[in-house]
Structure 1
Amino acid sequence: MPSKRKTRSSSTSSVDAATVAADSTSGETPNKSRRKTNLKTSVVVAVDKNEKSDAADLNVDRNGNSEDEGSNSRFVGDPISDEKAKRRWPNRYQEKEKKPSTKSKSNSSDDEEILQARHHYTEAEIDGCTIYKLNDDAHVKGEEGGENYICKIVEMFEAVDGGLYFTAQWYYRAKDTVIQNLGHLIEPKRVFFSEVQDDNPLDCLVEKLNIARLPLNVNFDAKKKVIPPCDYYCDTLYLLPYSTFVKLPSESKEGGSESSSTISSEIEVNGRSEVNSKIGNTFHSEESKEPELKLLDLYSGCGAMSTGLCQGGILSGSNIVTRWAVDLNEHACKSLKLNHPETEVRNETAENFLSLLKEWEKLCSYFSLVQNKVPHKEYVDLFNAEEEEDDDTGGEEDNNDEEVFEVSEVLAVRYGDPKKNKPGLYLKVSWKGYGSDADSWEPIDGLSNCKERIKDFVTQGFKSKVLPLPGDVDVVCGGPPCQGISGFNRFRNKENPLEDEKNKQLVVYMDIVNYLQPKFALMENVVDLVKFANGFLGRYALGRLVQMNYQSRLGIMAAGAYGLPQFRLRVFIWGAAPSEMLPQFPLPTHDVVLRGFIPSEFESSTVAYNEGHNVQLQRKLLLEDAISDLPMIENNERRDDMEYDKPPQTEFQQFIRLSKNEMLGISTEKKSSNSLLHDHRSLELNVDDYQRVCRIPKKKGACFRDLPGVRVRPDNKVEWDPKVKRVYLDSGKPLVPDYAMSFVHGGSSKPFARLWWDETVPTVVTRAEPHNQAIMHPMQDRVLSIRENARLQGFPDFYKLCGPVKERYIQVGNAVAVPVARALGYSLGLAFQGAVVEGPLYKLPDKFPMIRDRVSSVSSEDDA
Structure 2
Amino acid sequence: MPKRKSIRKKPSSSSSSASGCSKSKKQKVVEVVEKVEEVVNDVKTESSEVSIPVDEEVEAGVEEIVESPTNSGRKNSRKLVKKEELDCRFLGDPVPADEAKLRWPHRYSAKVEQGAKKSKTSDDDDEELIPAKCHYFKAEVDGFKIFELNDNAHVQSEDGKPPYICKILEMFEGVDGLPYFRAQWYYRSVDTVMKESITLREAKRVFASEIMDDNPLDCLLEKINIVRVTPNLDVDSKLSAIPDCDYYYDMKYLLPYSTYIIPPAETASPGSESQSTISSDKEVNGAVGDAKSDSDEAPQGNESSNSEITVLDLYCGCGAMSTGLCLGANLHGSNLVTRWAVDVNQFACQSLALNHPETNVRWKGYGEKDDTWEPLEGLSNCREKIGEFVKKGYKEKILPFPGDVDVVCGGPPCQGISGFNRFRNAENPLADPKNEQLVVYMDVVNYLKPKYALMENVVDLVKFSKGFLGRYALGRLVDMNYQARMGMMAAGAYGLPQFRMRVFIWGAQPSEKLPQYPLPTHDLVLRGVIPTEFEINTVAYNEGHTVQLENKLFLGDAISDMPEVTNAESRDEIPYSCPPKTEFQRFIRMTKDAMLGSRNGSEFISKLYDHRPLNLNVDDYQRVCRIPKKKGANFRDLPGVRVRSDNKVEWDPDVEREYLPSKKPLVPDYAMTFVGGTSSKPFARLWWDETVPTVVTRAEPHNQAVLHPVQDRVLTIRENARLQGFPDYYQLKGGVKDRYIQVGNAVAVPVARALGYSLALAMASEGSLDGPVMTLPPKFTNIHDRAASPIVEDNS
Is TM-score (shorter-chain normalized) higher than 0.5?
Answer: yes
Instruction: Report what 2:449 is aligned to.
Output: 517
Given the superposition, is the C-alpha separation of residues 274 and 646 from structure 1 closer, same or farther in structure 2, using an over 3 Å criterion? closer
SS at match of 2:781: coil
Instruction: Report what 2:581 is aligned to.
Output: 649
* Corresponding letter in the other structure for 1:739: Y
Instruction: Report what 2:340 is aligned to.
Output: 324
In the alignment, structure 1 residue 800 sits paired with structure 2 residue 723: no
Structure 2 residue aligned with 1:27, among 10, 13, 17? Answer: 17
What are the superposed Cα offsets for residues 393-443 of structure 1, whole Å, 9 maximum, x if unpaired? xxxxxxxxxxxxxxxxx98754426xxx72658xxxxxxxxxxxxxxxxx5
Structure 2 residue aligned with 1:256, among 260, 268, 271? Answer: 271
**By how many angstroms is 1:134 displaced?**
1.3
Tell me, yes or no, if the aligned pair for 2:117 and 2:129 is still in contact at 8 Å: no
What are the superposed Cα offsets for residues 188-226 of structure 1, whole Å, 9 maximum, x if unpaired? 211111000111111100011111210113522112211
What are the superposed Cα offsets for residues 148-207 of structure 1, whole Å, 9 maximum, x if unpaired? 101111111111111111111111111100011225234221111100011111110001
* Corresponding letter in the other structure for 1:832: M
Instruction: Report what 2:38 is aligned to.
Output: none
Q: Name the CA distance, whole Å, in 2 between partners of 1:543 and 1:782.
A: 46
TM-score by length of 2: 0.88
Tell me, yes or no, if the aligned pair for 2:320 and 2:746 is still in contact at 8 Å: yes
Given the superposition, is the C-alpha separation of residues 488 and 411 from structure 1 closer, same or farther in structure 2, using an over 3 Å criterion? closer
Tell me, yes or no, if the aligned pair for 1:249 and 1:263 is still in contact at 8 Å: no
175-184 vs 334-343, greater mean Cα deviation: 175-184
Q: Name the CA distance, whole Å, in 1 between partners of 2:668 and 2:203.
A: 59
In the alignment, structure 1 residue 422 sits paired with structure 2 residue 377: yes
What are the superposed Cα offsets for residues 29-79 of structure 1, whole Å, 9 maximum, x if unpaired? 1255999xxxxxxxxxx9997996455999944466764xxx3x2222232
Instruction: Report what 1:5 is aligned to.
Output: 5
SS at match of 1:296: strand
Q: Name the CA distance, whole Å, in 2 between partners of 1:614 and 1:48.
A: 41
Instruction: Report what 2:742 is aligned to.
Output: 811
Structure 2 residue aligned with 1:88, among 98, 103, 109? Answer: 103
**By how many angstroms is 1:132 displaced?**
1.2
Given the superposition, is the C-alpha separation of residues 65 and 501 from structure 1 closer, same or farther in structure 2, using an over 3 Å criterion? farther
Q: CA RMSD in A?
A: 2.8
TM-score by length of 1: 0.81
Instruction: Report what 1:129 is aligned to.
Output: 144
SS at match of 1:125: strand
**By how many angstroms is 1:114 displaced?**
1.3
What are the superposed Cα offsets for residues 219-251 of structure 1, whole Å, 9 maximum, x if unpaired? 221122111111111111001111000012223
Q: Name the CA distance, whole Å, in 1 between partners of 2:335 and 2:119.
A: 39
In the alignment, structure 1 residue 729 sits paired with structure 2 residue 660: yes
Gaps of at least 5 residues in structure 2 are 35-61, 71-76, 787-796
SS at match of 1:185: coil
SS at match of 2:311: strand
**By how many angstroms is 1:831 displaced?**
0.3
* Corresponding letter in the other structure for 2:532: S
Q: Name the CA distance, whole Å, in 2 between partners of 1:422 and 1:336.
A: 29
What are the superposed Cα offsets for residues 456-491 of structure 1, whole Å, 9 maximum, x if unpaired? x75664344222111111100000011111111111
In the alignment, structure 1 residue 773 sits paired with structure 2 residue 704: yes
Once the two structures are superposed, the pairs formed by residues 351-366 of structure 1 within 5 Å of their partners are none
Structure 2 residue aligned with 1:337, among 326, 329, 353? Answer: 353
Structure 2 residue aligned with 1:178, among 193, 197, 215? Answer: 193
Structure 1 residue aligned with 2:467, among 507, 528, 535? Answer: 535
Instruction: Report what 2:592 is aligned to.
Output: 660
In the alignment, structure 1 residue 680 sits paired with structure 2 residue 670: no
Matched residue count:
741
In the alignment, structure 1 residue 309 sits paired with structure 2 residue 325: yes
Q: Name the CA distance, whole Å, in 1 between partners of 2:588 and 2:377.
A: 45
**By how many angstroms is 1:121 displaced?**
1.6
Q: Name the CA distance, whole Å, in 2 between partners of 1:114 and 1:781.
A: 67
Instruction: Report what 1:581 is aligned to.
Output: 513
**By how many angstroms is 1:26 displaced?**
6.3
**By how many angstroms is 1:127 displaced?**
2.2
**By how many angstroms is 1:613 displaced?**
0.5
Once the two structures are superposed, the pairs formed by residues 237-636 of structure 1 within 5 Å of their partners are 237-264=252-279, 268-269=283-284, 273=286, 275-279=288-292, 284-285=297-298, 291-348=307-364, 413-416=371-374, 422=377, 424=379, 444-447=382-385, 454=388, 461-636=393-568
Instruction: Report what 2:678 is aligned to.
Output: 747
Percent identity between the two aligned chains: 61
In the alignment, structure 1 residue 140 sits paired with structure 2 residue 140: no
Tell me, yes or no, if the aligned pair for 1:284 and 1:835 is still in contact at 8 Å: no
What are the superposed Cα offsets for residues 257-279 of structure 1, whole Å, 9 maximum, x if unpaired? 2222243389623xx65542534
Once the two structures are superposed, the pairs formed by residues 160-175 of structure 1 within 5 Å of their partners are 160-175=175-190
Structure 2 residue aligned with 1:202, among 217, 232, 246? Answer: 217
Tell me, yes or no, if the aligned pair for 2:209 and 2:278 is still in contact at 8 Å: no
What are the superposed Cα offsets for residues 590-621 of structure 1, whole Å, 9 maximum, x if unpaired? 01143341100001110000011110000000
Q: Name the CA distance, whole Å, in 2 between partners of 1:324 and 1:647.
A: 36
Instruction: Report what 2:74 is aligned to.
Output: none
Q: Name the CA distance, whole Å, in 1 between partners of 2:378 and 2:228.
A: 44
SS at match of 2:780: coil
Tell me, yes or no, if the aligned pair for 1:588 and 1:607 is still in contact at 8 Å: yes
Q: Name the CA distance, whole Å, in 2 between partners of 1:134 and 1:170.
A: 15
Given the superposition, is the C-alpha separation of residues 514 and 181 from structure 1 closer, same or farther in structure 2, using an over 3 Å criterion? same
Q: Name the CA distance, whole Å, in 1 between partners of 2:406 and 2:345.
A: 24
Q: Name the CA distance, whole Å, in 1 between partners of 2:667 and 2:69.
A: 69
Once the two structures are superposed, the pairs formed by residues 64-83 of structure 1 within 5 Å of their partners are 67=86, 71=87, 73-83=88-98
SS at match of 1:572: strand
SS at match of 1:775: coil
* Corresponding letter in the other structure for 2:383: D
* Corresponding letter in the other structure for 1:327: D
Once the two structures are superposed, the pairs formed by residues 686-765 of structure 1 within 5 Å of their partners are 686-765=617-696
Tell me, yes or no, if the aligned pair for 2:3 and 2:526 is still in contact at 8 Å: no
Instruction: Report what 2:168 is aligned to.
Output: 153
SS at match of 1:523: strand
Q: Name the CA distance, whole Å, in 2 between partners of 1:413 and 1:47.
A: 78
Given the superposition, is the C-alpha separation of residues 98 and 561 from structure 1 closer, same or farther in structure 2, using an over 3 Å criterion? farther
**By how many angstroms is 1:133 displaced?**
1.4
Given the superposition, is the C-alpha separation of residues 412 and 567 from structure 1 closer, same or farther in structure 2, using an over 3 Å criterion? closer
Q: Name the CA distance, whole Å, in 2 between partners of 1:697 and 1:283.
A: 65
SS at match of 2:147: strand
* Corresponding letter in the other structure for 1:203: D
What are the superposed Cα offsets for residues 672-723 of structure 1, whole Å, 9 maximum, x if unpaired? 57x1100000000000000000000000000000000000000010000000
Q: Name the CA distance, whole Å, in 2 between partners of 1:156 and 1:777.
A: 69
Tell me, yes or no, if the aligned pair for 2:116 and 2:128 is still in contact at 8 Å: no
Tell me, yes or no, if the aligned pair for 1:707 and 1:736 is still in contact at 8 Å: yes
Tell me, yes or no, if the aligned pair for 2:299 and 2:765 is still in contact at 8 Å: no
Q: Name the CA distance, whole Å, in 2 between partners of 1:575 and 1:64.
A: 50
* Corresponding letter in the other structure for 2:642: R
Given the superposition, is the C-alpha separation of residues 59 and 153 from structure 1 closer, same or farther in structure 2, using an over 3 Å criterion? closer
Gaps of at least 5 residues in structure 1 are 10-18, 36-45, 353-409, 426-442, 855-864
Tell me, yes or no, if the aligned pair for 1:542 and 1:553 is still in contact at 8 Å: yes
Tell me, yes or no, if the aligned pair for 2:198 and 2:476 is still in contact at 8 Å: no
SS at match of 1:212: strand
What are the superposed Cα offsets for residues 336-366 of structure 1, whole Å, 9 maximum, x if unpaired? 00000000001139xx9xxxxxxxxxxxxxx
* Corresponding letter in the other structure for 1:240: L
Q: Name the CA distance, whole Å, in 1 between partners of 2:553 and 2:115.
A: 43
120-129 vs 284-293, greater mean Cα deviation: 284-293
**By how many angstroms is 1:89 displaced?**
1.8
Q: Name the CA distance, whole Å, in 2 between partners of 1:663 and 1:467.
A: 28
